[in-house]
Amino acid sequence: MTTFTTSDGAEIFYKDWGSGQPIVFSHGWPLSGDAWDAQMLFFGMNGYRVIAHDRRGHGRSSQPWDGNNMDRYADDLAELIEHLDLKDAILIGHSTGGGEVAHYVGRHGNDRIARLVLVGAIPPLMLQTADNPDGVPMEVFDDIRRGTSLDRSQFYKDITTPFYGFNREGVANNQGLRDSFWLQGMAGGIKGQYDCIREFSEIDYTDDLRAIDRPTLIIHGDDDQLVPIKATAYRAAKIVRDATLKVYPGGGHGLAQLQAEQFNADVLDFIRGA
């Protein structure tokens, strides 16, 4: 296993394959870097260096009691990028990972990155407020906290249905994706995953989006049942200065896995400047 130790003593697992311009992948909750397998293989075989880490409290990384917050997630990402001395990196973040890469820019700047891709991403804000009426009510996040804290194993099995849209007409069930989601989720630590719920629901990442000054591709499914497009992608595309919004009709939250071929092709075109 390849790991590095952060400045506060956490051990972060990461995969680093291939050579060429680096692409760094940040995964969603409650998963791990393995969620990017189809992208790691595709882009690695297309001449890119591909890197995916497990966020602290997730996957094979340390499970600290404290420090499970977006400031520390972004700093962990910055320390990984500096540890590997990456330059002209492409950052790709899904869901919570989208908040992580945006907050990385907000805290550490744009100097080491060339482009960003946000897919099903949480910025600017998931929570429903008076200024964000299309967001998700707090009681939904409280239910996620309840399920995670009291019956995590079954909850992670159940949430795969809206995550991948298996409750939608025309979307075929994929037991392999369900099993992979559950295995990745259960590999992580309950405290880190519980704490992370606040970070993907209640934090406003508007200022981080404003700090981005690199070309940014925003991909979102218009049937995302977990991260509503009106509260996130539509608003983010108006905030980021050089943003391109690509909407997948009928697409769900896990589109990078469920529609991997289309997603990979779209991202490759964006990276190559097509």
- Hey, which residues are catalytic here? 95, 224, 253
End-to-end CA distance of the chain: 36
For tokens 């075989």, the residue is: 45
Task: Read off the DSSP letter of residue 155.
Answer: H
- Structure-block tokens of residue 265: 């092709």
User: How much of the chain is in helix, strand and coil states, percent to nearest 5?
Assistant: 45, 20, 40
Instruction: Return the SS3 of 195.
Output: helix
Q: How many CB atoms lie within 10 A of CB 87?
A: 12
Task: Please list, residue by residue across 145-177, b when 16 or more beta carbons sit within 10 angstroms of its beta carbon and e when fewer do.
Answer: eebbeeebeebbbebbebbbbbeeeeeeeeeeb
In three-state secondary structure terms, 51 is strand
- The answer to whether residues 48 and 22 touch, using CB atoms and an 8 Å cutoff, is yes
Sheet with strand 22-26: strands edge to edge: 3-5, 11-17, 49-53, 22-26, 89-94, 113-119, 216-221, 243-248
Three-state DSSP class for 73?
Answer: helix
> Which DSSP letter does residue 54 get?
P
Q: Which residues pair with 243 in a beta bridge?
A: 216
Task: Enter the DSSP assignment of 217.
Answer: E
